[in-house]
Amino acid sequence: MANIKENYKHALNNPIFEIIAKASEELHIESYVIGGFVRDLLLKRESKKDIDVVAVGSGIELALKVSELLPRKPKVQVFKNYGTAMLRFEDTDIEFVGARKESYNFDSRKPLVENGTLEDDQNRRDFTINALALSLNRADYGNLVDPFNGLEDLEKKIIKTPLDPDITYSDDPLRMMRGIRFASQLNFEIESDSFASIIKNKDRIAIISGERIVEELNKILMTEKPSTGFLLLYQSGLLDFILPELTALNQVEEIEGHTHKNNFYHTLEVVDNICPNTEDVWLRWAALLHDIGKAPTKRFNKKQGWTFHGHEFLGGKMVKKIFERLHMPLNQKMKFVQKMVTMSSRPIVLAQDGVTDSAVRRLVFDAGEDVDDLMTLCEADITTKNPAKFKKYHNNFNLVRNKIVEVEERDHVRNFQPPISGEQIMDLFNLQPGREIGTLKESVKEAILEGTIPNEYEAALEFITQKAQKMGLQKQK
C-alpha cells in the first residue's frame, strides 16, 4: 500500500513528535502526522500552528496519554461525537483522530464513519498533497507514507484528488472550494480532470452552509493574489451560486459605439491592488463588493453614454442582503463594509474636482475612524493602464490625504463631538427637551463643517447665541 519515498526524521524536530511516538508505543497503536503540516513541511512553507495526528486506534486515548507524558499535563478537549481530541503544546494546537473510513448520503456532507486503517484514512482525504503522512512509529519513524504520489504532485504544483474526483466532490462539495483555495494559496494548478469534475458537480455546493463557504472565501481573499481563486470560482460556475451579484458585473455592452469597462475584471484588479496594503479581511470584502451596485444601475444615455448613478448607495444595501444570505456577521463588520461601499466614490470625486476644506471635513466626519481605510480602497480602485493617468490619480489622492491630515489637526472632526452639548444648550436658553435643541446642535455642526466657525467652545457659543436669537430664544443671564 505505502509508497515510501524517503525518511524525514530530521524534519520532525518538534519535541512533541517524540512524545507522541512514546505514547503510541505504550498504547501499542500506530500513529502518523498527516495533512497540512506535512504538506507545508515538504514545501518548506511556514505552516499554521496546528498539527493533525491520525491514530490507528483511538485518537482520544492517544491524546490523553500524550497529555499524561507532558510535563504540564495540558487539558485535553474531547469531542466524542467526532472521535477527536485536541491539546495545546507550547504555541501549537494538536488534533488527534482515529483512522477512519467514511461513506456519504447524497443530501449531506456529514459522513457515516467507521474505524479504519491508515489506508482508509488517506483515501478519504480531499487531495493527494493532503494525504501525505509521516510515521511516528519506532520501526519506521519519519518515513513518508505516500500512496497517491502526493510528493510528485507537490513537485509538479498540481491539485488532484486521491480517488475519482466525482466521488470526492460529490461526497463533500466543500472540497471544490478547498481545491480552488489551495490553488490560490500555493499558486498550484488544478488537474484538468479534477477541474472538469468541479464544473460538473458545481450545483452540489447548494448543500454547503453559508458559514463554511464564507470560511473558504475569506481564505481566498487573504491570499497574495485573490483574483486567482475568484477567476477559478467563476470559470467553474461556483461563483454564480455563491455571489451572483459579482458575476453579473461580467458583461460589456455597446450601444451607438459606446462601451463601458468590464466591472468584474476591474473588481478583481482592485482586490489584488488592495492586498499589499491591508491584512484586514473586511477591507478586502469591501474591495470585492465595491461595484456590485453597477449591474442593476447601468443605463445608457445618448448624451452621457453609460451611467451607473447611485450604484454606491444601492451597493451598500446589497451588502446587507449578501451578508444575510451567506450567514455572515451582521454587526460592525457588516456596517464597515457597507460604509466603505457606500462612500467608495467620495474621495474620487474630491480628487477630480479639487480639494476644498469643507469637502474634506465632511468626508472625515462621515468616514470617522475609517477614513484611512476608505482612502486605501479608493487608491486600489485606480486600475488604469495609462501611466500618465495612473500617476495623476495617485498624486491627486496624495493631495486629499495631506488635506485630511491638515484639516483634522486644525478642526478635529474625526469622531466629531460638538463643542456645546445638548444639556448646555438647555441650560443656556432655559429649554426643555425638544426640537429646538436638535436644530441648534445641527446648526453648530454644519457651521464647523463648512468652516464658518472653528471647532471651539467660544466660537460655537457666539454662533449658537446668534442663531438662538433668530429663533426667538433668549440666553439666560
Do 187 and 174 sit in the same domain of this protein? yes
Last residue of a domain, one of 209, 242, 275: 242
Do 40 and 147 sit in the same domain of this protein? yes
Do 18 and 147 sit in the same domain of this protein? yes
pLDDT for the residue numbered 3: 47
Mean pLDDT of 315-342: 96
Do 43 and 113 sit in the same domain of this protein? yes
Do 59 and 119 sit in the same domain of this protein? yes
181 neighbors 225 (Cβ within 8 angstroms)? no
Closest by CA position to 51, among listed 13, 76, 100, 16: 16
Which amino acid appears at position 455 of this protein?
N
Do 41 and 131 sit in the same domain of this protein? yes
Do 10 and 148 sit in the same domain of this protein? yes
12 neighbors 108 (Cβ within 8 angstroms)? no
Residue 100 lies in a domain: yes
Reported as a single tens digit per residue, the pLDDT across 381-425 is 988 888 888 888 888 888 888 888 888 888 788 878 888 888 888
Last residue of a domain, one of 107, 141, 156: 156
> What pLDDT band is residue 189 in, cutting at 50, 70 and 90?
very high
Residue 40 lies in a domain: yes
| Sign of the Cα pseudo-torsion (382, 256, 311, 326, in order) | negative
pLDDT for the residue numbered 105: 62
182 neighbors 216 (Cβ within 8 angstroms)? no
- What residue numbers bound the domain in which 233 lies? 157-242
Do 121 and 229 sit in the same domain of this protein? no
Residue 105 lies in a domain: yes
Reported as a single tens digit per residue, the pLDDT across 263-286 is 999 999 999 999 999 999 999 999
Mean pLDDT of 298-302: 74
Reported as a single tens digit per residue, the pLDDT across 126-159 is 999 999 999 999 999 999 999 999 999 999 999 9
Do 95 and 139 sit in the same domain of this protein? yes
Last residue of a domain, one of 131, 156, 181: 156
pLDDT for the residue numbered 100: 86
User: How far is residue 407's CA from residue 374's CA, in Å, rounded to a whole number?
Assistant: 17
User: How far is residue 75's CA from residue 378's CA, in Å, rounded to a whole number?
Assistant: 48
Mean pLDDT of 65-81: 92
| CATH number of the domain encompassing residue 228 | 1.10.110.30
pLDDT for the residue numbered 174: 96
Do 32 and 98 sit in the same domain of this protein? yes
Mean pLDDT of 49-64: 93
- What is the number of other CB atoms lying within 10 angstroms of the CB of residue 332? 10
Closest by CA position to 338, among listed 293, 399, 380: 293
User: How far is residue 336's CA from residue 319's CA, in Å, rounded to a whole number?
Assistant: 10
User: How far is residue 40's CA from residue 34's CA, in Å, rounded to a whole number?
Assistant: 11
Please give the share of the chain, as a percent, with pLDDT higher than 70: 92
Q: Which residues of 403-414 are buried (b: 16+ CB within 10 A; e: fewer)?
A: bbeebeeebbbb
- Counting the structural domains of the chain, the total is 3
224 neighbors 275 (Cβ within 8 angstroms)? yes
